[in-house]
Amino acid sequence: MNITQLLFWILTVIAIGSALMVITSKNPVYSVLGLIITFFAISGHYILMNAQFLAIVNIIVYAGAIMVLFLFVIMLMNLSKATETLKNKWMQIVGAIAGGCLFLVLVAALRNTEVKKNLVEMGTGNIGLVKNLGHELFTTFVIPFEIASILFLSAMVGAVVIGKKE
């Protein structure tokens, strides 16, 4: 077992453990923190697959911005035990049946798939590198990139104009 496989299994255990923490935690703040750990572990997998851009975007966008938003929303909500509604037994049974049906559909969909060996070349190739993405973005796709830049600039100016007090 080399270091890449060892890192893969460590990141996998961390990702699965923190994902289980997300769905089993009673405290919603701990669930969000578990989700942040899951995103970091998935970013580690992206780095192992030589997709640095995806790893950085995953950390910045998901673990950074969206999780901060989740934490603010959860902390601003009043999640005390007194305001929690009583859960009906029938709703729990229906939820369990719906989850079981979803599991059966997933098993039926994945039953006849082939598992290919060596899908990812670890640490080799130039596919996920930021350098190659930048080269393609500023040579082949320079016109759509500039159009998107102008669109974002006009949206920011519009937001400032709408939000400006008179």
pLDDT tens sequence across 91-104: 889 989 999 999 99
pLDDT tens sequence across 43-80: 999 999 888 888 999 999 888 888 888 878 877 776 66
Radius of gyration, alpha carbons of the chain: 22
Supply the pLDDT for residue 70.
Answer: 83
In the numeric block, the tokens 């919603």 are attached to: 28
Supply the pLDDT for residue 148.
Answer: 92
The predicted model scores a pTM of 0.65
Distance in angstroms (rounded) separating the CA atoms of residues 58 and 42? 8
Distance in angstroms (rounded) separating the CA atoms of residues 11 and 123? 16
Distance in angstroms (rounded) separating the CA atoms of residues 43 and 61? 12
Question: Which pLDDT band holds residue 134 (cuts at 50, 70, 90)?
Answer: confident
pLDDT tens sequence across 40-50: 999 999 999 88
Supply the pLDDT for residue 86.
Answer: 65
For residue 10, give the 3-state DSSP assignment.
helix
